[in-house]
Homo-oligomer: A and B are copies of this chain.
Amino acid sequence: MPRQPAPDDDPVPSADAVVDLGPLSTLTGHALRRAQIAVAQDFQRTMAHHQIRPAQFSALEVIKLNPGLRQTQVSFALGMKTTNFVPLLDELERRGLAARRPIQGDRRARGLFLTPRGHDLLARLEQLAAEHEARFTARIGADGKAQLLGLLYRLGDPAFDPPRD
């Protein structure tokens, strides 16, 4: 919302001053975070009716594609800490979308599975995710998206890190 500009004789920046971000604007981490926030906000708006956050969608997708994984495997695959993943999974279970069930061959272990309700919801969420994705692909083009995914993959892969002294 617009703010009242400061008086002209105010020696400090006025309330609507353009803020100088200096070297931040060329820091990769800063640019990544800004873009990631914009994309995550669109995702959450897209999924608002179903109250699904990006991490919940990712968990449902991994459980669907890899039924029976232990929760530590799913959280590791998603790059999430177990302490963050457990409450996320609890909520999916409480909403009847996923379940922890005993798995054959190991009496102590429990694996993760989608419920029929989870499968139904995820089918709808996948359509919405595709619409969300198409909006961002339209901004940078299919070639731009392919370039972006390649660059992001190389950024995140320590194998591309040159040896340090």
Contacts and interface: CB of A to CB of B under 8 A. Distances in A.
Nearest to A137: B28
Query: How many copies of the chain does the oligomer comprise?
Result: 2
A120 B27 CA distance: 21
B105 A12 contact: yes
A50 interface: no
A139 B153 contact: no
A154 B133 CA distance: 14
A142 B26 CA distance: 12
Contacts of A153: 31, 35
A156 interface: yes
Given A12-B67, A28-B133, A68-B12, A35 B139 contact: no
14 contacts: A7-B105, A7-B106, A10-B103, A10-B106, A11-B68, A15-B70, A19-B66, A27-B129, A28-B145, A32-B32, A135-B161, A135-B162, A144-B151, A148-B151
7 tightest CB-CB pairs across the interface, nearest first?
A12-B68, A19-B77, A10-B105, A38-B156, A35-B152, A139-B160, A29-B39
